[in-house]
Chains A and B, each alone.
Chain A
């Protein structure tokens, strides 16, 4: 584990990766062989993912001069995030990858947020928390500490849902980053490092964090007469 710095491995082999994330807003990014962002677009807000996703994909492809560098992977942000929106980006990423016959890399969306923090101007020297709105007065929290040997943000505590009212008490003095948007390019950069290391970061099931709202019915109710 390398604390809050960009030391360690830097030779993530060249890939051209499309990153898609609809865990918060709708975001699509494209990174080139050198890991730099070729194009990135996003639309904020918890709604409108289904409407936005196609145009965002089209815009990124148009801006990213993809012809010279064929896509090698599609990275999908797997959440956590509100159910309905989250699925749209994953469905789009998978179908896009199928169309290009390239693999899909599943990336926890908080990893992308953490990488953006770590790659920022003043990377934290201590553990820090990524916080996103999980709706229903809950916050999704993942605690990170730097990057690991593969350059992937190191989650020291897995993602949990915390009632908003308890966040202060639970996190104490831990530095917090309240994130309202995930970068598609950051999702792609996390994927790039995972591919280079041959690692699987999360399963194919989205990080729903909640079971479906459904109750097994009790015996039929009397209707009265």
Chain B
């Protein structure tokens, strides 16, 4: 197979309908249609609303991506799709489309892992030096909060820890709601935090006590933090005090950022890996980037952050991961795979065909 395979990737694991086209490590199109506006009135992603939107958006998104990339479907070397993890009903729409397209064109199909796709986003970053292994990766979004040890993108990704309850992005959404701010919460909390004192209120850092660290050294928990914010506000209200929204927002955000960066850098130190890759939509949070860069510099850790358009869920990262699989002579997936909402990160590719390597 060619070193520079032309791949179209389909990503529908959450509320973004992502179509990406890559030629090897070169990004040709990163087309995204988001149903976020439709979820805003519900205060969070509604799986059925997301799945309905995927069905309507897929075909136009594929057409836009082809036009932007200036390629024809017949020119593709392969089709790629997210098999999981994610919302099952949403994933299945992308899988149905990917199978229909692959069979129609008679092209190989690669079913891949969404989380590993987030890591692959880095290799599509224009003008970037190649990703060095091993690296620690911190993936933070509305759907996941995962800390990974990546020794090789296509063969060796280890899950160090993940959230045991809410994803970090979900915590932003929920606290925004407590503060009476709209969805999505991340940018709203950022706006509200302007001028606030991040040290004004000491909110708890989940799973950070010595006793927790034994079992959950790299795991995250944000549910208790959300409750702590709600209780703090109730207490102040009951006492007749005005709520210092900027201080609450800044202190809450600091608690999230602190625990994310502390655990990520602990993993770098423990594993002797001086590299940290950030991914996921919550990386848009400027405070998270600032703190990560500053504390990583102190610790002698190099930080890589793909452009935001490749950090949020997208099809390009799925195509990019499949292109890497193809370049390392991996066989395509069978047509028999389904959606796996809890696909472990160790399953980088799903349902690889049996047979001799190097098709």
Given A95-B59, A212-B46, is A87 in contact with B99 using a C-beta cutoff of 8 Å? Answer: no
- 8 Å CB contact of B338 from A22, A48, A93, A205: A48
Assess whether B194 is interfacial by the CB under 8 Å rule: no
- 8 Å CB contact of B96 from A50, A212, A214, A224: A50
CA gap between A90 and B93 in the complex, in Å? 9
- 8 Å CB contact of A222 from B62, B95, B177, B234: B234
- A interface majority secondary structure: helix
Residues 54-66 of A, flagged 1 when their CB comes within 8 A of B and 0 if not, give: 1101100100000
Minimum distance in angstroms from B12 CB to a CB of chain A: 9
B-chain residues with CB within 8 Å of residue A160 when the two chains form the complex: none
A99 near B234 with CB under 8 A, answer no
- 8 Å CB contact of B62 from A92, A98, A223: A98
Binds A, one of B101-109, B247-255, B316-324: B101-109
A216 near B56 with CB under 8 A, answer no
B234 near A223 with CB under 8 A, answer yes
B-chain residues with CB within 8 Å of residue A83 when the two chains form the complex: 48, 51-52, 89
Assess whether A158 is interfacial by the CB under 8 Å rule: no
- How many of A's residues come within 8 Å of B, CB to CB? 43
B46 near A214 with CB under 8 A, answer yes
CA gap between A65 and B43 in the complex, in Å? 51
A55 near B55 with CB under 8 A, answer no
A91 near B103 with CB under 8 A, answer no
Near B by CB (< 8 A), chain A positions 171-210 give 204-206, 208
A99 near B73 with CB under 8 A, answer yes
A84 near B89 with CB under 8 A, answer yes
- B interface majority secondary structure: helix
A-chain residues with CB within 8 Å of residue B42 when the two chains form the complex: 214-217
Assess whether B215 is interfacial by the CB under 8 Å rule: no
B-chain residues with CB within 8 Å of residue A212 when the two chains form the complex: 46, 48-49, 52
Name which residue of chain B comes closest to A52, CB basis: B336
B73 near A87 with CB under 8 A, answer no
Assess whether A89 is interfacial by the CB under 8 Å rule: yes
A-chain residues with CB within 8 Å of residue B102 when the two chains form the complex: 54
A-chain residues with CB within 8 Å of residue B58 when the two chains form the complex: 91, 94-95
B-chain residues with CB within 8 Å of residue A92 when the two chains form the complex: 96-97, 99-100
Given A95-B97, A214-B42, is A54 in contact with B51 using a C-beta cutoff of 8 Å? Answer: no
Assess whether A120 is interfacial by the CB under 8 Å rule: no
A98 near B96 with CB under 8 A, answer no
B93 near A87 with CB under 8 A, answer yes
Given A50-B338, A91-B58, A217-B43, is A98 in contact with B92 using a C-beta cutoff of 8 Å? Answer: no
CA gap between A220 and B337 in the complex, in Å? 40
A-chain residues with CB within 8 Å of residue B99 when the two chains form the complex: 50, 53-54, 57, 92, 95
A99 near B55 with CB under 8 A, answer no
B-chain residues with CB within 8 Å of residue A93 when the two chains form the complex: 100
CA gap between A214 and B88 in the complex, in Å? 17
Minimum distance in angstroms from B331 CB to a CB of chain A: 16
A99 near B97 with CB under 8 A, answer no
Given A99-B73, A213-B48, is A53 in contact with B100 using a C-beta cutoff of 8 Å? Answer: yes
CA gap between A88 and B97 in the complex, in Å? 7
Assess whether B227 is interfacial by the CB under 8 Å rule: yes
Name which residue of chain A comes closest to B105, CB basis: A99
Minimum distance in angstroms from A206 CB to a CB of chain B: 7
Near B by CB (< 8 A), chain A positions 142-190 give none
Residues 208-234 of B, flagged 1 when their CB comes within 8 A of A and 0 if not, give: 000000000000000000010011001
B-chain residues with CB within 8 Å of residue A97 when the two chains form the complex: 104
Assess whether A126 is interfacial by the CB under 8 Å rule: no
Minimum distance in angstroms from B129 CB to a CB of chain A: 36
- 8 Å CB contact of B92 from A49, A100, A225: A49
Assess whether A96 is interfacial by the CB under 8 Å rule: yes
A84 near B100 with CB under 8 A, answer no
CA gap between A55 and B335 in the complex, in Å? 6
Shortest Cβ-Cβ A-B pairs, 3 listed: A99-B104, A54-B335, A92-B100
Contact surface of B with A, Cβ cutoff 8 Å: 41-43, 46, 48-49, 51-52, 54-56, 58-59, 62-63, 73, 88-89, 91-105, 109, 177-178, 180, 227, 230-231, 234-235, 335-339
Contact surface of A with B, Cβ cutoff 8 Å: 20, 22, 48-51, 53-55, 57-58, 61, 83-84, 87-100, 204-206, 208, 212-217, 220, 222-225
Known pairs A95-B98, A206-B55 / 13 extra A-B pairs, C-beta < 8 Å: A50-B339, A57-B104, A83-B89, A87-B54, A87-B96, A95-B96, A95-B100, A212-B49, A213-B48, A217-B177, A222-B230, A223-B230, A225-B234
